[in-house]
Amino acid sequence: MLKEKRAAEVAAILSKYPHERVRSAVMPLLYLAQEEYGFCTPDSMREIAQICSIDPTEVQSVAGFYTMYFEKPVGRHVVEICDDLPCVLRGADKLVDYAETKLGIRAGETTSDGAITLKVAMCLAACDRAPMCQVDLKYHYDLTREKFDDMVQELRK
Ligand code: FES
């Protein structure tokens, strides 16, 4: 249980919100759960719902809406290639194909060594530097096959 494993952090998060607005703690609690378990587990989402006095489906809808919450296990690094229209017009679809071949997985899967999860993403608001991807919290712009290869090499170190 998050309230037992991370009691101090849960209390710190809840202290930021007035009691009648405790539902606003959903997002930081989801981050905490993800940090603890590697992803937002069904049990952790149920617990967060209970902490925030809301329905579990509301917690699931928040986790499902934001791409930085993971609802299933992911690798140590998450590579999200934007495949929205402006990026595709600059070759993102071919980069996704290349990344799948290079990593030996399909988008949505994790490499067998657990190092990298490959995902595709909707517009990440960096269209002026398309094609681009997000690796964990960092953006990589003007992506090419060579840059992708260098990035993967770095991630596997
Ligand atoms: S379409 Fe890729 S960042 Fe906007």
Name the residue of 80, 81, 87 whose CB sits within 8 Å of the most ligand 1 atoms, as the mutation to test its pocket: 87
**What's the whole-number average pLDDT of the chain?**
96
The CA 144 to ligand 1 mean position distance, Å, reads: 15
Name the residue of 93, 96, 127 whose CB sits within 8 Å of the most ligand 1 atoms, as the mutation to test its pocket: 127
| Mean pLDDT across 4-16 | 97
Name the residue of 122, 123, 128 whose CB sits within 8 Å of the most ligand 1 atoms, as the mutation to test its pocket: 123
Residue 13 has pLDDT above 90, yes or no: yes
Q: What span, in angstroms and rounded, lies between the C-alpha atoms of 157 and 153? A: 7
pLDDT for 91 = 97
Domain 2-65 has CATH 1.10.10.1590: yes
Give the residue among 91, 118, 87 at the shortest CA–CA distance from 102: 118
Element at 9 (helix H, strand E)? helix 7-14
Q: Which atom of ligand 1 is nearest to the CA of 121?
A: 2
Domain 77-155 has CATH 3.40.30.10: yes
pLDDT for 67 = 83
pLDDT for 104 = 98
Look up the pTM and report it.
0.83
pLDDT band at 62 (very low <50, low <70, confident <90, very high): very high
| Mean pLDDT across 58-83 | 94
pLDDT for 137 = 84
Contact 13, 25 (CB under 8 A): yes
Q: What span, in angstroms and rounded, lies between the C-alpha atoms of 118 and 82? A: 11
Residue 89 has pLDDT above 90, yes or no: yes
Residue 98 has pLDDT above 90, yes or no: yes
Distances (CA, A) of 59 to 52, 63, 87, 98, 156: 9, 6, 31, 35, 33
Verify whether ligand 1 is closer than 6 Å to residue 143 (CB atom): no
pLDDT for 68 = 86
The CA 148 to ligand 1 mean position distance, Å, reads: 17
Q: What span, in angstroms and rounded, lies between the C-alpha atoms of 103 and 25? A: 37
The CA 122 to ligand 1 mean position distance, Å, reads: 7
In the chain, CATH 1.10.10.1590 covers: 2-65
Q: What span, in angstroms and rounded, lies between the C-alpha atoms of 88 and 97? A: 12
Q: Please, where are the H alpha helices in 38-156?
A: 42-52, 56-65, 85-89, 92-103, 145-155
Contact 48, 37 (CB under 8 A): no
Q: What span, in angstroms and rounded, lies between the C-alpha atoms of 68 and 64? A: 9
| Cα angle 154, 31, 23; round to 5 | 160
Q: Which atom of ligand 1 is nearest to the CA of 84?
A: 1
Other CB atoms within 10 Å distance of the CB of residue 110: 20
pLDDT one-digit tens code per residue, 124-157? 999 999 999 999 989 999 999 999 999 999 999 8
pLDDT for 150 = 97
